[in-house]
Amino acid sequence: MSKYWSEAIQNLTPYVPGEQPKGSNIIKLNTNENPFPPSPKVAEAIHQFDTDRLRLYPDPDASALKQTLADHFEVAPDQVFVGNGSDEVLAHTFMAFFRQPKPLLLPDISYSFYDVYCNLYAIEAVHIPLQDDFLLALEDYTQANGGIIFANPNAPTGRALTLDQIEVLLQRNTETVVVVDEAYVDFGAETAIKLVNQYPNLLVIQTFSKSRSLAGMRVGFAIGNAELIEGLERVKNSFNSYPLDMLAQVTAIAAIEDNQYFLECTQQIIQTRDWTTVQLESLGFKVIPSKTNFLFTSHRYIAGAELMGFLRTHSILVRHFSRPGIDNHLRITIGTESEMQALIDCIKRHPDIISL
């Protein structure tokens, strides 16, 4: 608390990102980063980049990147918005669409940044409980609202709705904006981008941070009706004209253009995820079926926080959420095959597993 702070920021509860340890020799399975490097085409784009150009401002509209994304997803360039990571795209989305007299609807267990933005922009939210199987309770999203947001697949549960299920929600909710955050969609779920031309109130948000190995570059995007995109541009151009620097723009283009590499990496992660699921289950873990690059898992005899601490002493970082209802779970990012083998080997050495 400080007397210099404006009143509105005294009561903020900022988001706390997962730890980024300084040391090496740590197996980092705590922030859902991709274990593989970005495409070699990204490295090539950086090597060929003419640093003299950095004296100039970047293209404020990132038009080449928007065109690349438009071609890739078969939409028009004016249906594409880009931002400094999808967190920024989300922030502008909350500002542009959710500051309404009626409350925002969102799942009670979801990406915790949504509540942070509600807090920042004074948006009232109604948290709808997930079903016991951790799927969204779609029939509960019928009340009057100022918008709806959810992640599909959801975080940190990893469960996904089908496109048919999302379409039912869209048919019932036509008057306010429905945002689907698809940060993890490339690991086995179906994108709702196919529906944007049918539903003018649908906005789909994706990121280069997970499936395209570019978390450090900060690139996210939204696809929807041109009217929604224009709303986002109004916010963006009232905030920061140049959210994407030149390197971010050229590397994002290179990443999209190397679709073969993208498919290989995501397939490998899916395969390793399924292997890890089987291994954990054989050690007595309950594993929620995942369509993401992480597993949400719990064990009857070992508390989540305890296991996180045990793994940490063996230089393996995973994420634990202290929120009641999920506080016995761990969220474990899928790394390389050998990292996941090391995780399983480590868990097998836990005293409570040995004694089973």
The residues of the shown chain that bind ligand PLP, judged by CB under 6 A, are 32, 85-87, 111, 151, 155, 181, 183, 207, 209, 215, 220
Cβ closest to ligand PLP, residue 95 vs residue 183: 183
Residue 158 gets the label, from left (phi > 0), alpha (psi -120 to 50) or beta, of left
CA distance 118 to 122: 6
The dihedral built from the CA positions of residue 51, 53, 55 and 59, taken in this order, carries a sign that is negative
The two beta strands, 220-224 and 202-207, are: antiparallel
Within 8 A by CB and 6+ apart from 261, the residues are: 39, 40, 41
Which 3 state secondary structure label does DSSP give 223? strand
Q: How far is the CB of 333 from ligand PLP (least distance, A)?
A: 11
Cβ closest to ligand PLP, residue 39 vs residue 86: 86
Q: How far is the CB of 291 from ligand PLP (least distance, A)?
A: 13
Cβ closest to ligand PLP, residue 79 vs residue 209: 209
Cβ closest to ligand PLP, residue 207 vs residue 297: 207
State both tokens at 190: 């179906």
Q: How far is the CB of 340 from ligand PLP (least distance, A)?
A: 20
Q: How far is the CB of 267 from ligand PLP (least distance, A)?
A: 20
Q: How far is the CB of 220 from ligand PLP (least distance, A)?
A: 4
**CA dihedral of residues 271, 276, 279, 282 (deg, nearest 10):** -100
Cβ closest to ligand PLP, residue 34 vs residue 173: 34
Q: How far is the CB of 166 from ligand PLP (least distance, A)?
A: 16
Cβ closest to ligand PLP, residue 224 vs residue 279: 224
What strand order describes the sheet that includes 125-128?
Answer: 80-83, 220-224, 202-207, 178-181, 147-151, 104-107, 125-128
| Helix (H) or strand (E) run with residue 218 in it | none
Q: How far is the CB of 206 from ligand PLP (least distance, A)?
A: 8
The dihedral built from the CA positions of residue 97, 102, 107 and 113, taken in this order, carries a sign that is positive
- Angle at alpha carbon of residue 341, lines to 335 and 345, rounded to 5°: 130
Cβ closest to ligand PLP, residue 220 vs residue 304: 220
Cβ closest to ligand PLP, residue 46 vs residue 215: 215
CB neighbour burial string for 44-54, b if at least 16 within 10 angstroms, e if fewer: ebeeeeeeeee
